[in-house]
Structure 1
Amino acid sequence: MNWRKNNWRKKLRELLDGLTQKSAQGRTNCFQSLSKAFVKKYMPNFIKDRYFTICDSIERSVKKGGELEKAAAAELATIVCVQLGTDDASEEICKTLKPVLLTTICDNSVSPTARAKCCIALGNITFLSGGEIAEVIILMQQLEAIFSCSYLKGDGTVPNINADTANLHASALSTWSLLFTLVTPGTISSMMKSKTLPSLEKLSELLESAHLEVRMAAGEAFVLIYELGREESENFEEDFALDVSETFKQLATDSHKYRAKKDRKQQRATFRDILQFIENGTITDIQVKFGKEVLPLDTWTRRKQYETLCNILGPSINIHLTENDLLRDIFEITGSPADIPTYPAHQMERFRKRLLNAANFKARTLSRAKNRDKRSDF
């Protein structure tokens, strides 16, 4: 979309008008074109003036549209929330779209592909809007109801599901993992004992899935649970860690010829990193450079959040890391006093919550560094 500088607003208005056309394919094309435009350029003011129209179109298409239209509308919902950031309009969109997205992901008559896209969108807008943790936990339980269909059967055999359904389960589990990064350490063990969160034994059954994406999502969930769980106790589920490490070793050295070579390579690389963390508490140092700034991805929690935003924004994430207040809050990127945004009074409560989360994250990082030093000395 190579639009001239003075013409892009006109093009965007035409695409917004196209969201109400009669042609389903035409509406889908407009959703997709708007998503591409909103990813490439940070334009919160333009969207804020029209968020009600956008939200209404998304809601209508998710309710009544076909598979491709539902998927395109769900994708736009996430991008709009990224654009609006800490603005109240983002919270309003989340409140409006949550019910229809939740209804869609629980509707077995909807195609698995559309349900998967809606799962991802629902988790993303919940994460971005900074909702109450009680609501986050409820949504995590609803997501578990979806991916639990990939647990082993009562007789211990692996369920036979097709590729589209496996993708749905993997999307639900990956979304569950993103929301898990919002859980405060200190409550994880108690929530597992009360079955508020699934047990590690149940999650380990997903590692036996015949589908790569489910196994990968399960490994990701495990490493996040252990990272935050070890902030509660250095010996968090230590006995189970020894047991599951054997499964990780098998996946990290998998050489079964009936699996695609590319899949085997991807699986081995991922589970080697997971195994290294579970056994030694170490993580590969990754740094993202954008402009003159550097973002260290020194925890699995931060990696998961960054990966999620990369999936939303693609190559344009560097633009948003530089200009978008929401992303800078999430990753604790501080600028000069002249660059620090000012917030109206009605936004301060949400900003306070983000600052509290940032302080908790910093405390966890410091604690983790001390524990790593102790393990190294030992």
Structure 2
Amino acid sequence: MGKRNNQRKNVAMLDSSDDNSSVSSSSTGRSDLMSVSGSDDVQVDKDSLLEQALDALYEKRGSTREKALAAIIEAFNTNLQLQFVEKKFATLLHQCLNSIKKGSSKEIALACHAIGLLALTVGSGDNAREILEESVAPISQALKSQSDSLKTESLLECLAVVTFVGANETEETERSMQIMWQLLHPKLGSNVVAVKTPAVVVTAVVSAWAFLLTTMDGCSLNSKDWQESISYLSTLLDKDDRSVRISAGEALALIFETGSIEKFAAENKTPPDGSVLEGNKSCEGYTRILGLKSKILNQVRSLSAEAGGKGSTKKDLNSQRNLFKDVLEFLEDGNTPEISMKIGGDSLQTSTWSELIQLNFLKHFLGGGFVKHMQDNEFLHDVFGFTPKRKHILGVEHQMSSGEKRMFRSPNSVLNKARTQFLNKQRMLSKDRNVGHFAVGMGDEDM
């Protein structure tokens, strides 16, 4: 009873400035954390602030839950909340899922971001798998109602992140990718009218889908389904919206990097059982794939040199040109863009499309918390093979003791690290084996 009264008192502090202002910014999240403490002048215990924000998620008033979620997001961006997560992991997860089920679009967006941060904080292992399994159904259900683009984007990002961290099997990743793809190709009943998907949602779907594709082995892909995906992505390169074109271009570059096009062409070149009927079908499929390869190359070449159009912003035009110049060079010569990024005093480098897509997606998702997570988050260190120098703040090492780390980290993390590094290595090898001198492959030797 005493705890509940305490909780009510803390919530009252959160409600003291109840209005409709945004709570998604870092500054607002920080002020919400301080409002829970009751004093700006007292050094408060951060775990206590998080506890109070977590308690506020039980409240009926939506604005109170929104402010609490913003405070939690700020706390997770500012520090790696390992100890809090170890104690309150399940409670935070289920309260955020409740917000997705019953909250406003704003609350759903905040809850999605909090769940994604929770997954990245716990890293690979049993907790991450629980987040994935518990989240898929409510996210899938919420995605069926595309009433708000911000909500849809947040749901897609959340599904992508929890799958990236928690999925161990190809089937689990494909399940999430299919949920995403349904937004672009919904199964319509006889009494359902197709609704045009907004460009911002198309971009979000393709970006999240490509992010998960970076974890897939091209050799295990189903030819029929993936040929349809490649064909659809090619149509997106002709759309008016540049963000749609750019996301589709990155996804196609990744598909070529995995060697999927060559795999599909090889499968269709040789009849599986030697029969005339199957052989004819196979030759038709092979010809269709070669035609698709040629079409994509011409689209990429055109977009890399587009002159621009009425109402187009120069920034978007330059981004498109630069992206498709990189894609064109990759398709023709097998060269991927190499990126070097400074994080603190350390350098993070990428040399494949897979790594670049992972980096850009996670940087966008983490926002202001990106640098902190890249410095302290061991899961991200494993993903990118990044080992930062040990930082000291005011002479105190800002990390858990080695004994606590061993207890907290999942035994599956080693397996996931090996899997991620293997896939990224395969991407690098595939540049020369499958994609290099792509234009030459369009000639007589392919026929």
Q: Which residue in the other structure is 2:25 paired with?
A: none
Contact 1:48–1:89 (8 Å) recurs in 2: no
What TM-score, normalized to structure 1? 0.83
CA contact (8 A) 1:277 1:283 kept: yes
Report what 1:133 is aligned to.
170
Counterpart residue number, 1:262: 315
> Which moved further from structure 2: 282-291 or 57-66?
282-291
Residue 206 of structure 1 corresponds to 236
Whether 2:301 is the aligned partner of 1:249: answer yes
Residue equivalent to 1:147: 184
1:123 deviates by 1.1
CA shift for structure 1 position 27 = 1.1
Q: What's the C-alpha RMSD, in Å, of the aligned pairs?
A: 3.2
CA distance in 2, matches of 1:212, 1:38: 33
SS of corresponding position for 2:175: helix
Residue 121 of structure 1, aligned match among 137, 158, 161: 158
What amino acid is the match of 2:323? T
Secondary structure in 2 aligned to 1:333?
Answer: coil
The alpha-carbon distance between structure 1 residues 242 and 160, as it changes in their structure 2 partners (threshold 3 A), is same
* Alignment map for 1:347-358 (pairs within 5 Å): 347-349=410-412, 351-358=414-421
Residue 311 of structure 2: SS of its match in structure 1?
A: coil
Selected match of 2:203 from 170, 179, 202: 170
**Could you tell me how far apart the structure 2 residues matched to 1:125 and 1:344 are?**
22
CA distance in 1, matches of 2:409, 2:304: 50
Paired residues of 2:123 and 2:165 also in contact (CA < 8 A): yes
Contact map agreement 1:285 1:298 (CA 8 A) in 2: yes
**What is aligned with 1:59?**
97
Deviation at 1:311? 1.5
Q: Is the 8 A contact 1:20 1:27 kept in 2?
A: yes
Distance 2:126 2:95 in 1: 19
Deviation at 1:374, TM superposition (A): 9.0
Correspondent of 2:116 among 56, 74, 78: 78
* C-alpha distance after superposition, 1:83-115 (max 9, x if no partner): 11135322222221121011111234x433312
**Residue ranges of structure 2 left out of the alignment (5+ in a row):** 1-29, 35-41, 187-193, 267-288, 390-400, 439-447
Give the structure 1 partner of residue 424 of structure 2: 361
Deviations 1:160-212 (A, max 9, x none): 947xx221221111111011111113234xx23x2256342222111122222
Partners in 2 of 1:345 and 1:290 — Cα distance? 25
Aligned with residue 37 of structure 1, among 62, 67, 75: 75
Q: 1:25 and 2:63 equivalent?
A: yes
- Tell me the residue number matched to 1:187: 220
Whole-angstrom distance in 2 between the partners of 1:247 and 1:169: 19
SS in 2 for 1:277: helix
Amino acid at match of 2:225: K
TM-score with structure 2 setting the length: 0.71
| 1:357 aligned partner, one-letter code | T
Q: Aligned in 2, Cα 1:34/1:112: closer, same or farther, shift over 3 Å? A: same
Where 2:218 maps in the other structure, the secondary structure is coil
Specify the structure having the higher radius of gyration (Cα).
2
Kindly state the Cα deviation for residue 125 of structure 1 after the two structures are TM-superposed. 0.6
Deviates more, 1:53-62 or 1:222-231: 222-231
1:92 matched to 2:125? The reply is no
Hey, what does 1:156 align to over in structure 2? Answer: none
**Structure 1: 5+ residue stretches without partners:** 150-158
Question: 1:154 is matched with which residue?
Answer: none
One-letter amino acid of the structure 2 residue matched with residue 195 of structure 1: D
Secondary structure (helix, strand or coil) at the match of 1:183 reads coil
Is structure 2 residue 393 aligned with structure 1 residue 330?
Answer: no
Report % sequence identity: 23
Letter in 1 for 2:208: T
Distance 1:212 1:364, change over 3 A: closer
| Higher mean C-alpha displacement, 317-326 vs 342-351 | 342-351
Q: Is the CA contact (8 Å cut-off) linking 2:113 and 2:154 kept in structure 1? A: yes
1:23-46 CA distance string (max 9 Å, x none):
212211221221122011112121
